[in-house]
Amino acid sequence: MAGGKAKEIEKEIEKEARISEAEVAVHWGEEEYIEPPEEIKRQAYVTDPTFREKFKEENFPECFHIYADLLDWDRYWHTTLDTSNPPFWKWFVGGKLNACYNCVDRHLKKYGNKAAIIWVPEPEDEPKRVLTYYDLYYQVNVVASVLQSLGLKAGDTVTLYMPMVPELPITMLACARLGIIHSQVFSGFSGPACAERIIDAESKVLITIDGYWRNGKWIDHKKNADIAVNVAAERGHKVEKVLIWQRYRDRYNSESKPIEGRDFLMKDLLKEHRGKKVPYVPMPAEAPLFIMYTSGSTGKPKGCVHSIGGYLAYVAGTCKYIHDIHPEDIHWCMADIGWITGHSYIVYGPLALGATVLIYEGVPTYPDPDRPWRIAERYGVTILHTAPTAIRLLKKLGSDPSKYDYKFRILVTVGEPIEPEVWRWYYTAVGKKQAVVLDTWWQTETGGWLCAHLPGVEPMKLGSTGPGALGIYPVIYDENGNEIPPGSGKAGYICIKNPWPGRMLTIWKNPERMIKGYYEKFCKNKESKDWRDWPYIAGDAATCDKRGYFRILGRMDDIINVAGHRLGTKEIESAALTVEGVAEAAVVPKIDELKGHVPDLYISLKDGYEPSPEIAEKVKMAVRNIIGPIATPAHVYIVPDMPKTRSGKIMRRVLACISNGRKDFGDLTTLIDPSIVEKIWEIVHGEG
């Protein structure tokens, strides 16, 4: 067979295998729709079943004025959507606004004394902290004054490396007040992973904390921050200043002492700026608000750049009309603010609406798995927002919500597909059948929800996300870009036909990567300025039922979803390759009862190295140290060789089958040495 043709067929097989693998991974029950409870039908913002029509295609893009009008603008926009440079759409062009003003200042008159943030520390004997909108305003101003005094200004980038403390949203909003672009790195990431993001963002200032509590342990975070700064320096990037918050105001609790001339305690800086007010900077709608890094299919994380106007309008709009957050709600999203969910649905969306958000330190299962319900009861939480992985874990650990007196209206699930039995427990045990389960599908790149049903007027479907969110028109394409009609039961690539205001502006310093990663494959005409020719490719496999509800099956690319966190296979493999003696590495997703998937890592060794438990352990630790604990492989298997095609590509789908105990390998004829498959099987499962 000619080389080109062989490659094509191989690609086909690999793609097909991925879809069927995803289907196998998720074993769904029967089709089941459940009507919302009567109370929610009455209370919701959207009670009119025809509301969705306001967002139909004929009304696009002006329909999104409904979202943008939730904000206060310093200058109204002249162009709703500028499509002159596809796919770099610009929304609300000509408009000026400030995100901090919209999330804080404008609420003072009506809600100044209402709680904006309730912070629950991990140690249960430590008091909670409540920040009213006025407190938030006061603190954001002082921090903004500090940032300004360091010479930071609109358009500069600052990296934040902070855990779940109120100082994190305060710092984000202080940046937003001045038009400074923040890039918050998840505190669970390792120092080197943080360094990579500092370098890419070119941040000269890092804002961090001495330490924090997690799972009963004090985490010395400043140590990690020092590693980040040192690794960046080794790679030629100098962080000039490190600002350090303290978890306890009266003491500094880290073995890494502040470094003279480089490190500054926020406590000291705040003292100098006490009571200062800093006018907010009106910013162009299409200017960047923040960068959020996420894993892609190459080794380098992608910096998704989100806009001020489009993004804020989109998260405020979805929070109001779909999430149904009212100013009286106590909204608790358990996600970490270091992920997009925290940015959109803890900080920017709910605060833009003047709601009260609860933020907690620690994990849901410590000191015991009833902690979430204790918090819900104690603080009157009305909306809960979490991921299937947390629900699975709580369920498994025997968490008992029935002992607690709380009442949820909305229960959001996000991040991974949710299995029917987990869904049922969420709805029945957690929600006591009084709340709507809202399965929301979206991504870091998309800013806000892409699929979700309207909780007051549309039914829930067990294990499915909803139809497209308001103004979002999803479609499923087959490999050749032909539409797969709803109800056919066939899986394909879920794509979004139209632009929407929440989509990232670009990839930081790498716009090409946005075209390649999200548009190229199904672009109908690269010369065209018509958005209809530029569908957005999400990278997930999905099916669509007759009613237009989508079921997400899993990733179609080299991304593994571990407990709702996205990890790039290349990042993990590159980390493994840093260990002496490792010749090749391949990582695959293994189905896991709690985390959805865990990474299984296969390595082969260079000549002269013998397999040993020590090497396997070293590789495990390397991945952990370079990326972070979430990426730690469940197993490291040392194999004599990889299952490789004649063109030298590792056939990961074969390894995925082996990890998951399946022998339906598909066609192995393109392998150089098919006998290797049996040998690897024996290493993983033993003989026979």
Which positions touch ligand 6R9 (CB under 6 A)?
A: 294, 339-341, 414-417, 439-444, 465, 538-540, 552, 555, 561, 564, 566
CB of 555 to ligand 6R9, least distance (A): 5
CB of 390 to ligand 6R9, least distance (A): 13
Give backbone dihedrals phi and psi of 199, rounded to 5 degrees, phi first: -65, -45
- Pick the closer one to ligand 6R9 by CB: 224 or 440: 440
Q: Is 81 helix (H, G, I), strand (E, B) or coil?
A: strand
- Pick the closer one to ligand 6R9 by CB: 408 or 423: 423
Amino acid at 330: I
- Pick the closer one to ligand 6R9 by CB: 587 or 615: 587
CB of 395 to ligand 6R9, least distance (A): 18
Residues in the chain: 688
CB of 339 to ligand 6R9, least distance (A): 6
CB atoms within 10 A of CB 337: 23
- Pick the closer one to ligand 6R9 by CB: 115 or 627: 627
Amino acid at 95: G
CB of 414 to ligand 6R9, least distance (A): 5
Q: Is 486 helix (H, G, I), strand (E, B) or coil?
A: coil
CB of 551 to ligand 6R9, least distance (A): 9
**Quick one: which H or E segment has residue 637?**
strand 635-638
H, E, C per residue of 12-29: HHHHHHHHHHHHHHCCCC
- Pick the closer one to ligand 6R9 by CB: 121 or 486: 486
- Pick the closer one to ligand 6R9 by CB: 169 or 539: 539
- Bond prior to 61 in cis (omega within 30° of 0): yes
Q: Where are the alpha helices (DSSP H) in 120-220?
A: 133-149, 167-178, 191-201
Q: Is 578 helix (H, G, I), strand (E, B) or coil?
A: coil
Q: What single-letter DSSP state applies at residue 299?
A: S
- Pick the closer one to ligand 6R9 by CB: 239 or 514: 514
- Kindly give, in sequence order, each residue whose CB lies less than 8 Å from that of residue 271, ignoring residues fewer than 6 positions away: none
Give the Cα separation of 207 and 150 in Å (integer). Answer: 12
Residue identified by tokens 């390397």 is 622
Q: Is 42 helix (H, G, I), strand (E, B) or coil?
A: helix
Structure tokens at 11: 């690609």
Sign, Cα dihedral of 413, 419, 421, 424: positive
Give the Cα separation of 596 and 418 in Å (integer). Answer: 9
Q: Is 425 helix (H, G, I), strand (E, B) or coil?
A: helix
- Pick the closer one to ligand 6R9 by CB: 540 or 573: 540
- Pick the closer one to ligand 6R9 by CB: 152 or 475: 475
Give the Cα separation of 367 and 352 in Å (integer). Answer: 33
CB of 196 to ligand 6R9, least distance (A): 17
CB of 337 to ligand 6R9, least distance (A): 13
CB of 295 to ligand 6R9, least distance (A): 8
